[in-house]
């Protein structure tokens, strides 16, 4: 047997541009092809993939988040003509994100033509079904518990089992019951390590606080702003709010791309894609979809002109909750709301996602009360914020205990850490060295996975 190697084009000891080539003398399989999002700058591509694009046997995408899927259409431009494997929800979500990326960055990385070509070569696969990706190599998607359609990728490489986690979550969330493990022990584990030294509280405990606070604020006639990531966190937040009858009389306004992502989510409300518990909760509440509850109102439906709707909302005396993009406050509708509502000390903004260093969200999270809005749109504006800031410690990634569990339970003797930062990876290396051989990966240079 040949040595099997991994070459990383990003996401080694940082989060961004996840893209990993697994290769031996005869085969080349690419796992993910994402972009790196940098605050206030353009995205960064995983450049090394250009050199191998033509030689790839298959491309597999773990989930739709842009740091895992955003550069995929470029592979077509670089001459790759094979299949792209992903789950059906990943295809639906990624396509919307790709279109959005074209709007934001233009044809910097790839064009509409590249996207069209890729779209027709996508082959969708369900969880837990093996499929061939090269001679002697099969793949299987396994539930990741992260976002809709998210999968871990299990490769059977001529008898050697390699598990790439993509992004995983061990917590019971409104839609999922945590990640699944493969049926067999694996030889190699390539795992994300985002929360490598962080304990994430159980969802239910955070949910209770969110619901109580939302009710209190709205009952007093004030506004609660919940800036959220369009894919994943915003659906979870809306579901949490929808399943609380105490909030039935409180309008919940939805703004930004979240509305589209809700519609996609509605297509997949079956046991194949979401947890039984979630479907039972919906049934008990008499709902076909959490997003179609009476008090869930897309901002676009208020009037034909979105800006007018937002102003109307902000100026009305009605207490309400506004769930909107963008999650790190880098632009989009949340800037309009901060402009209109941020000066009122009775209003509240709740953070529900991690705020990356350098973003406007992080500045406010860390206590800044004067921020610049609309930076991208050429009509910059400085505003003083008086509204209260609340922090909800949600995470879409597995808690450190869940990470330790997958490292132990997978049976892997070789463990490679990716998608985390140096500090928490160091912590994990210490922990894991008694049960397996932990390794880090260098960027753009082959590291042996098996056969050392």
Give contact residues for Zn ion (rule: CB under 5 A): 65, 67, 167
Nearest approach in angstroms of CB 419 to Zn ion is: 6
Structure tokens at 11: 């996401």
**Cβ closest to Zn ion, residue 134 vs residue 231:** 231
If the CB atoms of residues 35 and 242 are measured against Zn ion, the closer one turns out to be 35
Which residue, 24 or 167, has its beta carbon nearer to Zn ion? 167
User: How crowded is the C-beta side of 135, counted as CA atoms within 13 Å?
Assistant: 4
Instruction: Give every CB contact of residue 371 below 8 A, 6+ residues apart in sequence.
Output: 338, 360, 363, 364, 382, 383, 385
Q: How far is the CB of 91 from Zn ion (least distance, A)?
A: 16
First to last CA, the chain: 12
- State the nearest-atom distance from the C-beta of 443 to Zn ion, in Å: 16
Nearer to Zn ion, 167 or 170 (CB): 167
What tokens appear for 333 in the block? 């509708």
Q: Which residues contact 213 (CB under 8 A, 6 or more apart)?
A: 224, 348, 350, 390
| Distance separating alpha carbons of residues 436 and 52, to the nearest angstrom | 31
Spatial separation of the C-alpha atoms in residues 46 and 198, rounded to whole Å = 28
Closest among 18, 30, 141, 31 to 419, alpha carbons compared: 18
- Closest contact distance (angstroms) between CB of 426 and Zn ion is 20
Q: Which CB atom, from 27 or from 68, has the smaller least distance to Zn ion?
A: 68
Closest approach of Zn ion to the CB of residue 430, in Å: 23
Q: Which one, of 316, 387, 385, lies nearest residue 348 by Cα?
A: 387
353 versus 438: smaller Cβ distance to Zn ion: 353
Region for 328 from its dihedrals, namely left if φ exceeds 0, alpha if ψ lies in -120 to 50, beta otherwise: alpha
> Looking at beta carbons only, is 74 or 419 nearer to Zn ion?
419
The answer to whether 240 and 226 have CB atoms below 8 angstroms apart is no
Nearer to Zn ion, 66 or 299 (CB): 66
The span from the CA of 20 to the CA of 13, in Å, is 13
What are the distances in angstroms from CA 154 to CA 8, 23, 76, 165?
Answer: 17, 15, 24, 8
Work out the number of other CB atoms within 10 angstroms of the CB of residue 183. 9
Q: Whole-number minimum distance, CB 19 to Zn ion, in Å?
A: 11
> Minimum Å distance from CB 322 to Zn ion?
24
The residue written with tokens 């206590």 in the block is 367
Q: Work out how close the CB of 68 gets to Zn ion at its nearest, in angstroms, rounded to a whole number.
A: 6
């Amino acid at each position: 047997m040949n040595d099997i190697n991994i070459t990383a084009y990003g996401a080694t000891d940082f989060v961004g541009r996840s893209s990993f080539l697994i290769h031996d003398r005869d085969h080349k399989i690419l796992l993910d092809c994402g972009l790196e999002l940098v605050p206030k700058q353009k995205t960064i591509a995983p450049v090394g993939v250009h050199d191998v694009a033509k030689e790839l046997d298959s491309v597999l995408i773990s989930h739709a988040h842009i740091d895992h899927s955003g550069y995929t259409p470029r592979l077509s431009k670089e001459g790759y003509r094979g299949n792209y494997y992903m789950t059906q929800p990943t295809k639906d979500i990624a396509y919307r994100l790709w279109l959005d990326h074209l709007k934001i960055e233009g044809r910097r990385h790839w064009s509409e033509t590249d996207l069209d070509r890729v779209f027709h070569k996508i082959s969708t696969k369900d969880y837990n079904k093996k499929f061939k990706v090269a001679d002697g190599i099969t793949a299987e998607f396994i539930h990741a518990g992260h976002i809709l359609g998210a999968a871990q990728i299990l490769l059977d490489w001529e008898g050697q089992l390699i598990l790439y986690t993509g992004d995983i979550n061990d917590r019971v969330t409104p839609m999922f019951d945590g990640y699944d493990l493969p049926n067999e022990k694996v030889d190699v584990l390539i795992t994300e390590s985002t929360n490598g030294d962080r304990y994430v509280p159980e969802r239910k405990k955070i949910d209770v606080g969110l619901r109580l606070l939302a009710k209190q604020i709205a009952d007093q006639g004030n506004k609660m702003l919940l800036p959220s990531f369009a894919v994943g966190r915003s659906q979870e937040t809306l579901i949490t709010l929808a399943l609380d009858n105490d909030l039935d009389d409180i309008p919940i306004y939805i703004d930004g791309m979240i509305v589209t992502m809700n519609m996609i989510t509605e297509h997949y409300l079956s046991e194949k894609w979401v947890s039984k518990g979630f479907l039972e909760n919906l049934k008990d509440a008499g709902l076909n979809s959490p997003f179609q509850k009476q008090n869930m109102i897309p901002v676009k439906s208020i009037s034909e002109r979105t800006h007018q709707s937002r102003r109307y909302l902000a100026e009305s005396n009605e207490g309400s909750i506004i769930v909107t993009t963008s999650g790190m406050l880098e632009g989009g509708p949340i800037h309009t709301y901060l402009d209109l509502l941020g000066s009122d000390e009775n209003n509240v903004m709740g953070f529900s996602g991690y705020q990356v260093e350098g973003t406007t969200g992080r500045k406010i999270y860390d206590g800044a009360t004067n921020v610049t809005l609309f930076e991208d749109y050429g009509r910059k504006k400085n505003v003083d914020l008086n509204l209260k800031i609340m922090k909800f410690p949600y995470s879409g990634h597995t808690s450190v205990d869940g990470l330790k569990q997958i490292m132990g339970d997978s049976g892997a003797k070789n463990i490679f850490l990716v998608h985390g930062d140096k500090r928490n990876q160091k912590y994990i290396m210490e922990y894991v060295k008694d049960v397996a051989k932990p390794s880090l990966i260098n960027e753009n240079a082959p590291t042996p996975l098996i056969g050392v």
